[in-house]
Amino acid sequence: MVMRGGDYSGALRQLNMNWQTLPGSLEELSALEKLFKETNPRIYKQAEATEAHLQSLNEKGLLAQHRYLVFSAHGYLSSEVPALSSIVLGQVNNPPNIDGYVTAGEWPGYDLKSDLMVLSACETGLGKNIGGEGVIGLPYALYVAGNKNTLLTLWTISDTATTKFITSFFKKLKAGMGQIEALTATKREFLRDNKFSSPLYWAAFVLYGV
């Protein structure tokens, strides 16, 4: 099972990683905000996209109210310690007990009831295969947290292509397609696109779930 103890913050601090801004993230979130404007979606960008804010939303029960959850951010993969695999949120001005990494070891402490979580980040789908437990990492941790299906990536992805992919995928969901059908249709759409036909741009997206 996913490790629930341990000094995650200490381990991640020792890595001393620097994360660059993702311009495509703002474009992606803006596109989704426009697409779902009639539902008044909750969008948190830049200074609002912090682990502390996420914890607050969880404590208030607000995360459990949403059908779709989207994280357009960096992802950190730890193949040696799967519980450290993380979604990387705000790294500036965090309180002492917040490191900005929402790890696979921490996600089971969240209360989710979403049909789909999209992790628009690099290598979020990878984990470690352990006998009797399947893939350990973010996919399993999110399932334990209560999320049904998760769209993740298997390798580093293009910022620009990802914005286009996720927007197209959600347009199909909104039109009534199922998640598997929407993912397949979006991949075929990219395959026909002269600019993004290479599998490097679309084959990384995989759907885990029930």
Higher pLDDT among residues 115 and 7, named by residue: 115
Residue 1 lies in a domain: no
Tell me if 145 is assigned to some domain: yes
d(CA 148, CA 66): 12
Tell whether the model's pLDDT for residue 33 goes beyond 50: yes
45 pLDDT higher than 80: yes
Please give the average per-residue pLDDT across 29-58, as a whole number: 92
CATH of residue 186: 3.40.50
Q: Using CA atoms, how far apart are residues 15 and 13, in angstroms rounded to an integer?
A: 5
Asked if residue 203 lies in contact with residue 187, where contact means CB atoms within 8 angstroms, the answer is yes
User: Pick from 172, 159, 168, 175: which is nearest to 190 by CA?
Assistant: 168
Averaged pLDDT of the chain: 83
For residue 167, tell me if it sits in a domain: yes
Which of 34-48, 91-105, 124-138, 175-189: highest mean pLDDT? 175-189
Q: pLDDT > 70: what percent of the chain?
A: 81
Q: Which of 46, 52, 48 has the alpha carbon at shortest distance from 94?
A: 52
Domain membership of residue 193 (yes or no) is yes
How confident is the model over 80-130, as pLDDT tens digits?
A: 777 888 888 888 888 888 888 899 899 999 999 999 999 875 544 444 444
Token code pair at residue 196: 């993004």
Position 160 in a domain: yes
Pinpoint the alpha helices (H) of the chain: 8-15, 23-35, 51-59, 138-145, 159-174, 179-191, 199-202
Identity (one letter) of the amino acid at 55? Q
What was the pLDDT predicted at 133? 39
- The answer to the question of residue 3 being in a domain is no
In a domain, 76, yes or no: yes
Residue 160's pLDDT is what? 84
Does the pLDDT value for residue 165 go beyond 90?
Answer: yes
Q: Does residue 142 lie in a domain region? A: yes
Number of domains in the chain: 1
Classified as helix, coil or strand, 207 is strand
Give tens-digit pLDDT for 135-157. Answer: 457 888 999 999 999 998 877 77
Structural domain range at position 124: 8-14+21-208
